[in-house]
Amino acid sequence: MTDETDLKPPPRPWRWHIAVFLAPAVLVYTAVMIIPLFETLRLSFFNRADGQTFFVGIANYARLFGDPRWAASFWNALWNNAYFFLIHMVVQNPLGIALAALLSVSRLPGRAFYRSAIFLPTILSFVIVGFIWKLILSPLWGVTPSLLDLIGLRWLFAPYLGLETYALTTVALVSVWQWVGIPMMLIYAALLTIPEDLIEAAEIDGITGFSQFWRIKLPLILPTIGIVSILTFVGNFNAFDLVYSMQGAMGGPNGATDILGTFLYRTFFGFQLQGGDPHMGATIATVMFGIILVVISIYLFIIQRRMRRYEF
């Protein structure tokens, strides 16, 4: 009996070094992320009139959803955001997977070059990407009309960025062009971790080529695809810069490219003769935060928990 008590480890001394090493990150993160987050929430419960700031409860939210004009702008921006995200899910991620699958083919000459070339746009600034594509697509100076002419498809050209029907799709595709390198890299890395013996076993069973991709590789990289999707979602619902640099703060033409980010910017900081309204701006920011939080929670609690990593 006494032996057992002797075996118990002695009480650990308080490990103060953990607190010391965590402190800088905790302090900085609290100062630049957590406090502003709560401050934004607080701002959204106040309003300002006649030079006085007073507590209004959820009146700003009621205005955002209840006032027909605010609600129209909000739902328009939210719908545009959803569409923006949809384009990324339909074009960017499958493209990323396909490119990663191609790159992981073992006998591909110039693989390193393709990998870098496709990844390159992600390190460019939004402003540069927006500016370059505006020039490329310009009906006046752009190369698009003449290139299309070269292959006999001149009739396909339209001032894409200036027409309500095409503007948002065009901007979304430019964003896809810029970001496709990220899912490609992540999925490429995941494909590389698939053990060689698993592939060999598949080949012995006669599963090769496309069917090998669909039946062996794809299920194994599903968790990574999940992560990529959630990253895409967060990125898209926070998007602002590309639309702002290509289409301006009004999200023209006629609000066709107005997303939550530009709507927030216009409301918070003001635009032209319209003065800034920090309280309504904070309300929109809080709603955006809420949307992102809810979707991520759903993903974490319902989808991520069901996924199993394959153990080898």
Partner 1 sequence: MTNRTSRTLLISTAIAAMVAGAGTAGAQETTLVIESWRNDDLAIWRNEIIPAFEAQHPDIAVEFQPAAPTEYNAALNAKLDAGSAGDLITCRPFDQSLQLYDDGYLADLTDLPGMGNFSDVARTAWSTDDGSETFCVPMAAVLHGFIYNAEAFEEVGVEPPATEEEFFAVLDAFQEEGTYIPLVMGTIDQWEAATMGYQNIGPAYWGGEEGRTALIAGEQALTDEGWVEPLRVLARWSDYLGDGYQAQSYPDSQNLFTLGRGAIYPAGSWEISVFENQAIFEMGAFPPPTAPGSDTCHISDHPDIALGLNADSPNQEAGRTFLEWVASPEFAEIYANQLPGFFPLIDAEVEIDNPLAQEFASWRADCESTIRSTYQILSRGTPNLENETWAHTANVMNGVETPEEAAEALQQGLAEWYGPQQD
Binding site for partner 1 (CB under 8 A): 51, 69-70, 134, 137-141, 158-164, 247-248, 250, 252-255, 269-276
Which residues does residue 54 pair with via DSSP β-bridges, in sequence order?
Answer: 47
Q: In the bound complex, what is the minimum distance in angstroms from residue 134's beta carbon to partner 1?
A: 7
Min dist CB 266 to partner 1, Å, is 8
b/e code 270-306 from CB counts within 10 Å (16+ = b): eeeeeeebbbbbbbbbbbbeebbeeeeeebeeeeeee
Question: Is the separation of the CB atoms in 167 and 160 below 8 Å?
Answer: yes
Nearest to 202, CA basis, from 219, 223, 218, 217: 217
Nearer to partner 1, 103 or 172 (CB): 172
What are the two backbone dihedrals, phi and then psi, of residue 60, each rounded to the nearest 5 degrees?
-65, -40
C-beta of 33 vs 140, nearer to partner 1? 140
Residues 6+ apart with CB under 8 A from 13: none
Minimum Å gap between C-beta 69 and partner 1 is 6
- State in angstroms the smallest separation of the CB of 280 from partner 1: 9
For the bound state, the minimum distance from the C-beta of residue 153 to partner 1, rounded and expressed in Å, comes to 16
Is the Cβ of residue 160 or residue 179 nearer to partner 1 in the bound state?
A: 160
Shorter beta-carbon distance to partner 1: residue 216 or 246: 246
Nearest CA to 82 out of 297, 265, 292 is that of 292
Residue 245's Cβ-side half-sphere holds a number of Cα atoms within 13 Å equal to 16
Nearer Cβ to partner 1, position 226 or 270?
Answer: 270
Collapsing DSSP states into helix, strand and coil, what is residue 88?
helix
Q: How many CB atoms lie within 10 A of CB 91?
A: 17
CB-wise, 111 or 134, nearer to partner 1? Answer: 134
Angle separating helix axes 278-298 and 218-237, nearest 10 degrees: 170
**Residue 233 Cβ, how far from partner 1 at the closest point, in Å?**
29
Judged by CB, which is closer to partner 1: 75, or 310? 75
How big is the chain, counted in residues? Answer: 312
- Least CB distance from residue 161 to partner 1, whole Å? 5
Q: Distance between CA 260 and CA 292 in Å, rounded?
A: 12
Q: Are 103 and 111 in contact (CB under 8 A)?
A: yes
Nearest to 296 by CA among 230, 232, 219: 230
Which residue number, 66 or 139, has a Cβ lying nearer to partner 1? 139
